[in-house]
Chain A
Amino acid sequence: MPKRGAKILRCVVLGVMVLSVTGCARSQKILERLAIDHTIGYDLDDDQKLFVTAAIINQGEGGKEVKQELITVEADSSKEAKIKLSRQTSRNIVTGQLRNTLYSTEVARKGIRRLIENLVRDPSISPRVKITVVNGSVNELLSSEFPDHPNTSQYVDHLLQKNWKNQNIPQVNVYQFTRDLLDDGIDPVAPVVRRRGDNVLVDGLGLFKDDRYVGKLSADYNMLFAMSRGKYRQGEIYIKLDYQDLDGSVMLGTVSSDKKFKVWRKRAGGFVVEMLLEVKGDIMEYTGNVPLGNSRDIPKIQQGISSYISDKMERMVAIMQEKGSDNVGLGKQIRNSISYKEWKSLNWDEVYPEVTFRCTVKTKIKSTGEIMEVPAFKP
């Protein structure tokens, strides 16, 4: 027995040596010795050089309050920036808690592929890091102080998070951005934020052609874009009725939608893509002249809503076609309907602006509220 014990002991000692002497020990990242990166922002300075702003969670020496600290550096690439940044702090800069990356419109216009590649390459960076375009200077946004929100980078992050949860903007993180970037026949988007007074505002949706920012869709289109991209649940939509003799406006609540695409070939060449959209919702607010208590008039309002949505959807795609960016993914639908060989031989960038887009909407109003119960007035 003592022999066996010695053998086991030898194995244990050997095991501990092998695992701790081979250089694993230095990988310690003790929490309070870290400068934890929360947000990284990229600007261009006057010499067209990259200007990096990092918002780090800093704890101050000797038990001071934990707060955000900004460090900035001018660099040629994001990795050079990291080395230069670490010269400015007493702690190790780590990126494992990175939440958000901000790109000024100038940086985004030049293309952000290289910057995003670095995010993907680093295993400590989560694929769920958000990608956001800032209308204006990133450094200015991060260094501005908002009286109600002491921690600016966290504020911007939570703002995006909340808006994504309410389906006001699509969720755009490294994973979704690179997926749309690398997939054929679809281009990525990213939310645009800017400062307004004492608040930050979601300014709309940034349209990308490949990795280059080409323009912005106004915030009015947020719902429609969400509907065009996927299933839409529990949203709210405000509609101005302008159909036949209808007037006023409708607010639809608990909206859910589902979409399908159909693709035809034009006889003269080129494609027609039709989007079949089904929208369901409850009327939350109505200011028009049609008495909602009369169920015969409901189809009319439904048609009014349908025509509003389809008009606006077609207008939205027209804006994208004008900019040459296929953010809805019409190319993907066409690609799925033709052979791979044909798709390869197609010069999509040239074909895309010529594609005819039609949107057919079927609206269903699930309920109009308590008004249904009130009997019609008869003199």
Chain B
Amino acid sequence: MASNQEPVTLTHVLHDFDQCVDIVHRHFPLLSADIVFFDHLIDNNALERDILRPFANIQADEMHNLLMDSQFRAVTDHKKIIEGILKGDAAVFHCTSVYLVALYGPSSRAIEQSETEAVIIGPHDAFTESAFTNLSLIRRKLKSSHLKVVQLSVGEVVKCDVFVLYIDGIANMDYVNVMIERIRDIEIDIIVDSNMLVQHIDDYPNTIFPLFLTSERPDLIVSKLSGGKVAVIMDESPSVISGPTSLFEFFTSPDDYYQRWVIGTATRILRYIAFIITITFTAAYVSITTYHYEMIPENLLYTLIESRNRVPFPPVFEALLMEITIELLREAGARLPSKIGQTIGIVGGIVIGQAAVQAGLTSNILIIAVALSAIASFVIPSYVMSASIRFARFFLIVLAGLWGNFGLMVGISVIIIHLSKLTSLGSSYITPVAPLEFQDWKDLFIRGPFWMLKERPTQSRTRNKVRQKMKR
């Protein structure tokens, strides 16, 4: 009998969630009310507070008054109800009307340290998978009503919330609008992570370089926002996107600013040296031992010949062999739990390295070159950028093996030409170099003392340029 009295929408809804064993349907015969929700998406305390306790304390005739309370949102659209339940709302069916109560509060990961972007000093908290936690982390650091949050959703089959953040009055609205437009234009069934989202909104989908900075660190995103950039948070993803981005931003780390400026500058220069080592060192070894024996200093010549003497391969094969070995070790180490990962380090570093030299497969100077450039690649704070650079290195090694120093120069030129073509949200990817903006150099190539850093980066094209007015 009761089922006949059930409103049509409830049957519909329950029909839609047919075969979903995790749906919870509770019937209140005295109040002639039904609630439908996902147990694991809601906060049980909120359910108790907002629905169960009020329902227990009232009579059937008071029901209408109760449903006037603000936590009950009347919804008529069937689709909206389904969506609401999937987002962690409880649907309350009473007579012919339906109400949604926001009870979202699934269990989520606590705020922890970032594993990929650890710093030694400075705040240690990192974003989690929950967009609201992430928003809260940013709001806590940016207590301003000027921080605006625009909510969008992507995914045709599965809607996922995406929030676009910017500081009103500092961010250039052109960038904000372009960002919003690009996210709106995405037509895809599902996007799982923001690193996937980035690839749908960047300007050149085929480049190996990341065109937006993604970070797990709230302090970094806050500094980008205050520099006039736009940030994008995606629900269920711990990395937050910021843009427009220039290549050189990937070589900066927030802890540059937490240290004295001289030390920060030295670290930053070290990263650029690491970049050069990563990209050219092995290639230079190949090029010199294959073509340019003249370039070797006399004292090194003897040891180099001695170490290469027993190697049966030409230098380019030798180098590729070792580079691939190192990549194997890295990939194996990344997938394994950290306890086994250490074993991989020992096996790779000592056993393979030592044995390969003794077996005469490689020269020990190449082992140094390969190891050094692998280590140098991890100095770069952004993992995505470091992977891109390591890939570019293979291209240079092959060119160096083909044409020597000429090939190396061709390769470097191609990379530079490619980089200068790239844009991020329509602004040049190599911004302070081209277009030439010297005032940005003191905040990208070095970490200037704070009294020098008076203006926001030019790439933000902000109307509000001045960041500090302190006289010195």
Residue of chain A at shortest CB distance from B306: A66
- Decide if A34 is an interface residue (CB 8 Å cutoff): yes
Please judge, given known A-B contacts A20-B402, A31-B304, whether A97 and B309 are in contact too, CB under 8 Å. no
Q: Find chain A residues with CB under 8 A from B403 CB.
A: 19-20, 24
Across the interface, do A59 and B306 meet the contact criterion of CB distance under 8 Å?
A: yes
Across the interface, do A30 and B314 meet the contact criterion of CB distance under 8 Å?
A: yes
Across the interface, do A36 and B301 meet the contact criterion of CB distance under 8 Å?
A: yes
Across the interface, do B402 and A59 meet the contact criterion of CB distance under 8 Å?
A: no
Across the interface, do A30 and B290 meet the contact criterion of CB distance under 8 Å?
A: yes
Across the interface, do A97 and B308 meet the contact criterion of CB distance under 8 Å?
A: no
Across the interface, do A28 and B306 meet the contact criterion of CB distance under 8 Å?
A: no
Across the interface, do A63 and B402 meet the contact criterion of CB distance under 8 Å?
A: no
| Bound CA–CA A97/B293 (angstroms) | 8
- Decide if A65 is an interface residue (CB 8 Å cutoff): yes
User: Which residues of A from 61 to 106 have beta carbons under 8 Å from B?
Assistant: 62-66, 94, 96-97, 99
How far apart are A11's CB and chain B's nearest CB, in angstroms?
A: 12
- Decide if A27 is an interface residue (CB 8 Å cutoff): yes
Please judge, given known A-B contacts A24-B403, A63-B360, whether A31 and B298 are in contact too, CB under 8 Å. no
Q: Per a CB cutoff under 8 Å, which of A32, A65, A94, A126 touches B308?
A: A32
Across the interface, do B302 and A57 meet the contact criterion of CB distance under 8 Å?
A: yes
How far apart are A25's CB and chain B's nearest CB, in angstroms?
A: 8
Q: Per a CB cutoff under 8 Å, which of A30, A59, A99, A126 touches B315?
A: A30
How far apart are B278's CB and chain A's nearest CB, in angstroms?
A: 23
- Decide if B289 is an interface residue (CB 8 Å cutoff): yes
Q: Per a CB cutoff under 8 Å, which of B294, B298, B302, B402 touches A66?
A: B302
How far apart are B303's CB and chain A's nearest CB, in angstroms?
A: 8
Main secondary structure, interface of A, reads loop
Q: Find chain A residues with CB under 8 A from B308 CB.
A: 31-32
Across the interface, do B294 and A97 meet the contact criterion of CB distance under 8 Å?
A: yes
Across the interface, do A28 and B305 meet the contact criterion of CB distance under 8 Å?
A: no
- Decide if B258 is an interface residue (CB 8 Å cutoff): no
Q: Find chain A residues with CB under 8 A from B402 CB.
A: 16, 19-20, 25
Across the interface, do A29 and B293 meet the contact criterion of CB distance under 8 Å?
A: yes
How far apart are A153's CB and chain B's nearest CB, in angstroms?
A: 11
- Decide if A124 is an interface residue (CB 8 Å cutoff): yes
- Decide if B269 is an interface residue (CB 8 Å cutoff): no
Q: Find chain B residues with CB under 8 A from A28 CB.
A: 290-291, 314
| Bound CA–CA A64/B305 (angstroms) | 10
Across the interface, do B305 and A59 meet the contact criterion of CB distance under 8 Å?
A: yes
**Binary flags per residue of A93-124, CB closer than 8 Å to B gives 1, else 0:** 01011010000000000000000000000001
Residue of chain B at shortest CB distance from A20: B402
Q: Find chain B residues with CB under 8 A from A27 CB.
A: 291
The size of the chain A interface, using a CB distance under 8 A, is 28
User: Which residues of A from 2 to 21 have beta carbons under 8 Å from B?
Assistant: 16, 19-20
How far apart are B286's CB and chain A's nearest CB, in angstroms?
A: 10
How far apart are A372's CB and chain B's nearest CB, in angstroms?
A: 44
Q: Find chain A residues with CB under 8 A from B302 CB.
A: 57, 66
Q: Find chain A residues with CB under 8 A from B289 CB.
A: 30-31
Please judge, given known A-B contacts A30-B314, A97-B301, whether A59 and B293 are in contact too, CB under 8 Å. no
Q: Find chain B residues with CB under 8 A from A97 CB.
A: 293-294, 296, 298, 301
How far apart are B217's CB and chain A's nearest CB, in angstroms?
A: 36
Across the interface, do A32 and B291 meet the contact criterion of CB distance under 8 Å?
A: no
User: Which residues of B from 287 to 338 have beta carbons under 8 Å from A?
Assistant: 289-294, 296, 298, 301-302, 304-306, 308-311, 314-315
| Bound CA–CA A36/B306 (angstroms) | 13
Q: Per a CB cutoff under 8 Å, which of B291, B304, B305 touches A29?
A: B291
| Bound CA–CA A65/B306 (angstroms) | 7
Across the interface, do B293 and A31 meet the contact criterion of CB distance under 8 Å?
A: yes
| Bound CA–CA A32/B304 (angstroms) | 9
Across the interface, do A31 and B305 meet the contact criterion of CB distance under 8 Å?
A: yes
Q: Find chain A residues with CB under 8 A from B293 CB.
A: 29, 31, 34, 36, 94, 96-97
| Bound CA–CA A232/B9 (angstroms) | 103
Across the interface, do A63 and B296 meet the contact criterion of CB distance under 8 Å?
A: no
| Bound CA–CA A20/B315 (angstroms) | 18
**Binary flags per residue of B114-144, CB closer than 8 Å to A gives 1, else 0:** 0000000000000000000000000000000
User: Which residues of A from 121 to 149 have beta carbons under 8 Å from B?
Assistant: 124, 126
Most-contacted residue by chain A among B293, B402, B403 (CB, 10 A):
B293
Across the interface, do A57 and B305 meet the contact criterion of CB distance under 8 Å?
A: yes
User: Which residues of B from 251 to 307 have beta carbons under 8 Å from A?
Assistant: 289-294, 296, 298, 301-302, 304-306
| Bound CA–CA A34/B292 (angstroms) | 11
How far apart are B405's CB and chain A's nearest CB, in angstroms?
A: 12
| Bound CA–CA A34/B309 (angstroms) | 11
Residue of chain B at shortest CB distance from A19: B403
Across the interface, do A59 and B290 meet the contact criterion of CB distance under 8 Å?
A: no
Q: Find chain B residues with CB under 8 A from A36 CB.
A: 293, 301, 305
Please judge, given known A-B contacts A31-B289, A36-B293, whether A63 and B310 are in contact too, CB under 8 Å. yes
| Bound CA–CA A79/B388 (angstroms) | 50
Across the interface, do A29 and B309 meet the contact criterion of CB distance under 8 Å?
A: no
Q: Find chain B residues with CB under 8 A from A29 CB.
A: 290-293
Q: Find chain B residues with CB under 8 A from A94 CB.
A: 293
How far apart are B79's CB and chain A's nearest CB, in angstroms?
A: 36
Q: Find chain A residues with CB under 8 A from B298 CB.
A: 97, 99, 154
| Bound CA–CA A63/B312 (angstroms) | 11
Measured CB to CB, the residues of B under 8 A from A are: 289-294, 296, 298, 301-302, 304-306, 308-311, 314-315, 360, 402-403
- The 26 listed contacts between A and B (C-beta, < 8 Å) are A16-B402, A19-B402, A19-B403, A20-B402, A28-B290, A29-B292, A30-B289, A30-B290, A30-B315, A31-B296, A31-B304, A32-B305, A32-B308, A59-B305, A59-B306, A60-B309, A62-B309, A63-B306, A63-B310, A65-B306, A66-B302, A66-B306, A94-B293, A96-B294, A97-B296, A126-B294
Contacts A28-B314, A32-B305 supplied; 17 other A-B pairs, CB < 8 Å: A16-B402, A20-B402, A30-B289, A30-B290, A31-B289, A31-B290, A31-B293, A31-B304, A31-B308, A31-B315, A36-B305, A62-B309, A66-B302, A97-B294, A97-B301, A99-B298, A126-B294
- Nearest 5 pairs of A and B residues by beta carbon: A96-B294, A63-B310, A31-B289, A32-B308, A63-B309
